[in-house]
Structure 1
Amino acid sequence: MDAFTAGLLQRIQTTESDLTRARDEGDDFLVEVEQAELDDLRRLAAEHGVEVGASRV
């Protein structure tokens, strides 16, 4: 796995965790921000052929 793929997958995992935390805390604004970031990261992964796997959120 190259550095780009590893970094992207790590960012996705971190963002999923942050999104879950925002939901648990009831922070609607942060949920929107984290969801947008996650959508962008998943789009980037798809554009570069990076298999993301099942989402936890």
Structure 2
Amino acid sequence: MDAFTAGLLQRIEAAESDLTKARADGDDFLVDVELAELEDLRRLAAEHGVEVGAV
């Protein structure tokens, strides 16, 4: 796995974790921010052929 792929997967994992915390905290604004971040990261992954597990 190259550095780009590893970094991208790490960022996705972090965003998913932050999303879970935002939901648990009831922070609707942060939920929206994290969902947008995940959407962008997943799009980037798809554009570069990086497989991301479904969450």
Separation in 2, partners of 1:21, 1:36: 15
Residues 1-57 of structure 1 deviation map (CA, whole Å, 9 limit, x = unaligned): 0000000000000000000000000000000000000000000000000000121xx
CA RMSD of aligned residues (A): 0.4
Which stretches of structure 1, 4 residues or more, deviate above 4 A after TM superposition? none
TM-score (norm 1): 0.94
Query: What letter is aligned with 1:15?
Result: A
Separation in 2, partners of 1:21, 1:40: 19
TM-score (norm 2): 0.97
Separation in 2, partners of 1:25, 1:53: 25
Written as runs of structure 1 = structure 2, the 5 A alignment for 1:10-49 is: 10-49=10-49
The gaps in structure 2 that reach 5 residues or longer are none
Separation in 2, partners of 1:48, 1:21: 28
- Percent same amino acid among aligned pairs? 82
Higher relative contact order (CA 8 A, sep 6+): 1
Separation in 2, partners of 1:32, 1:53: 21
